[in-house]
Structure 1
């Protein structure tokens, strides 16, 4: 992956997210004060979405050669695992984690690109106590293919991110000081629950209910999916309380999905407050009035989160 270019770049990034029916592109400006400002939120329909021609088209129209680009992996394109943090020097960390992952992946470790993310410990815990970290693994062939796609389109891909981190970025804007916050979103890959605190990701869970199922017009089918979601959430919250007893979750937020009644159902079946999220509350959407619609907020949700990245964690 290329990291530098002689061409002058803008300070902001273009975040490009591939969906089943097209590509979402977001440009966002972060201000020292006030809400992050969404400058561009454009959708380019196309199937397959992983198309150099489609990427070239948006590159021409948005003058993407003047930006650094970031993209997101899909839910089935990587594995996110929790492992015990090795007691090694920082420069040996990835090698040590790679060794621990060799029997946990569904493909050979030699074919894996690895990255790691620390899970902060309880500050009052005894020194030297073992703690956990996240390990992200994706096939080398997939990473190379994604890099090649951007190269063919003439775009500078600098970062490949994952949905958990994009969702964590949005949750950071919604945290209450000293408390944790849960955030639940749905897309074509299924449900994604994250729990974070003080800008750090502590828990991630996938829920096998897709957005299409959530919007099923049959009320009996929706009731089954709602029950499944509530059960998975309860299990995850119970696990979190046991594992991270030093963090109290203030509330669970539901990302935009247009799923009628889910917020009320979960509020009645969970022991923490449940609220629906409107992106108007955290982003300046003046330049993109189309994002006032819940369906559009759902479509762009992870791309918006990925556009808020500040660190350079690169697969």
Structure 2
């Protein structure tokens, strides 16, 4: 199954966020026990409370499971593009060619210059065992997307840029910008870590570094993409970090800040919800 492929929509939609060996599951109103992605029994237990028929499963992969490579669009016909992309990125990833699963998307807002394609490369060996486990339960994912695209579903569909700052417990910070419900860009922020038990001084030093990275993103939005500044910021972070950061960022940038994580819905379960909201109006499987 290709990334971004679509199947016929089902009556009940369940979102899943694949993070390491677990898939966090959620609907718009409920969060479920995570499933071990390669275990049929674990999936069966996780899905036990759902209807036996009509489950539409939409999945988002965590950023550790794929690479996104930006390349010039090959000068080939559309029906030749898939093969051209395979050879264009084969030496730009550590995944062996025979294990690569490739798809792509285009950005609506691009910097000046030749149009780019964003090529997504993931390892079949990480994805296929999960799909096979689901197949034994007669469940076929309606679509499989990636973290940064799914995250835009948690942001308001506004004619001005919307910004989101996301961090799971194990991953680096990631800053995502969308506009009119469409992905604009994301900026992984490495070297900055907010965690439980930090002293106020340590946390303030991390915050100062974060502000510099956020300002670089605002400069890119303005100078390279020629877009207006964001009009709102959402936080998808562990609850205690979220509570500490929200007033700090609001004061610094004079932006309305909303907090998405709660004690009832973790960062990962919010990402599962985001996957469930992903539109099926995407490209057919190549």
Tell me what 2:84 maps to: 96
Distance in 2, matches of 1:20 and 1:106, equals: 18
| TM-aligned CA deviation for residue 251 of structure 1 | 3.3
Question: 1:207-257: per-residue Cα shift (whole Å, max 9, x none)?
Answer: 23788x433343233223323322322223323333201454333332353
**Alignment check: 8 A CA contact 1:184 1:252 kept:** yes
Mapping 1:225-264, distance limit 5 Å: 225-255=206-236, 257-258=238-239, 259=241, 260-264=243-247
**Alignment check: 8 A CA contact 2:15 2:274 kept:** no
- The range that moved more, 301-310 or 104-113, is 104-113
Question: 1:131-180: per-residue Cα shift (whole Å, max 9, x none)?
Answer: 22321110121221221221244422232221111111222xx1432x21
Question: 1:112-137: per-residue Cα shift (whole Å, max 9, x none)?
Answer: 11111111257xx8xxx622232111
With over 3 angstroms needed to count, the CA separation of the structure-2 counterparts of 1:141 and 1:297, relative to structure 1, is closer
Question: Normalised by the size of structure 2, how large is the TM-score?
Answer: 0.81
Mapping 1:1-315, distance limit 5 Å: 1=1, 10-19=10-19, 23-27=23-27, 38=28, 40-44=29-33, 50-121=38-109, 130-171=114-155, 174-177=156-159, 179-188=160-169, 189-208=171-190, 213-255=194-236, 257-258=238-239, 259=241, 260-269=243-252, 272-279=253-260, 293-294=262-263, 296-310=265-279, 311-312=281-282
SS in 1 for 2:178: strand
**Alignment check: 8 A CA contact 1:85 1:133 kept:** yes
Question: 1:69-103: per-residue Cα shift (whole Å, max 9, x none)?
Answer: 12221221101222222333322222232232122
Distance in 1, matches of 2:237 and 2:95, equals: 34
Distance in 2, matches of 1:133 and 1:237, equals: 22
Note the residue ranges of structure 2 that are not aligned, 5 or more in a row: none
SS in 1 for 2:143: strand
Question: 1:268-293: per-residue Cα shift (whole Å, max 9, x none)?
Answer: 54xx44333245xxxxxxxxxxx8x3
Distance in 2, matches of 1:181 and 1:4, equals: 29
Distance in 2, matches of 1:253 and 1:141, equals: 34
Number of residue pairs matched?
278
Distance in 2, matches of 1:219 and 1:198, equals: 37
| TM-aligned CA deviation for residue 306 of structure 1 | 0.9
Higher RCO (C-alpha under 8 Å, 6+ residues apart): 2
Note the residue ranges of structure 1 that are not aligned, 5 or more in a row: 28-37, 280-290
